[in-house]
Amino acid sequence: MTTLMPKEEEVERKWFLVDASDRVLGRLATQVATVLRGKHKPQFSPHLDVGDHVVVINAEKIHLTGRKLTDKIYRWHSGYIGGLREVSAERMIKTHPERVIEWAVQGMLPKGRLGRAMAKKLKVYKGAEHPHAAQKPEPLATRARAR
């Protein structure tokens, strides 16, 4: 019995729609990362990008548990001297809620060019509107919501 290796041309990609309102950030991110990576498919292969596209809407309604809203700090550096930027999760959700979800999911994907290719299939939008209606995204089976 030989192991079947899927080729890039043979991979069928679906589009899924996820509503982030009242969902816990980490639990949503793990579910989205699993679909982007393709681990939900029988032809999953760790060295290939066999995942699907995911559209996340209502990013500003994401929920963080505990004291993460005030205690969690997002940091990035411009590369210049004194270029360290720090923003709390509360302020980041108010200004750039898409970034919060994108960064959480990217941290769960492989590092390197394979992970970057998977991350390009993630589309996050602040409100309920999205421009991907032509792709006919189907709702992703969701689990428990935040209380």
78 is a domain residue: no
Query: CB under 8 Å to 53, separation ≥6 — which residues?
Result: 13, 14, 15, 16, 121, 122, 123, 135, 137
Over residues 7-30, the pLDDT tens digits come to 888 899 999 999 999 999 999 999
Over residues 60-102, the pLDDT tens digits come to 999 999 999 999 999 999 999 999 999 999 999 999 999 999 9
Q: Looking at residue 147, what is its pLDDT?
A: 54
The full length of the chain comes to: 147
Read off the CATH number of the domain in which 58 is found: 3.90.1180.10
Could you tell me the residue range of the domain that residue 29 belongs to?
A: 14-64+97-139
Burial of residue 59 (CB within 10 Å: 0-12, 13-18, 19+) is: buried
91 is a domain residue: no
Number of independent structural domains in the chain: 1
Q: Looking at residue 82, what is its pLDDT?
A: 97
145 is a domain residue: no
Its pTM surpasses 0.85: yes
Q: Looking at residue 3, what is its pLDDT?
A: 81
Q: Looking at residue 144, what is its pLDDT?
A: 54
41 is a domain residue: yes
Over residues 105-136, the pLDDT tens digits come to 999 999 999 999 999 999 999 999 999 999 99
Question: CA 32 to CA 105: how far, in whole Å?
Answer: 7
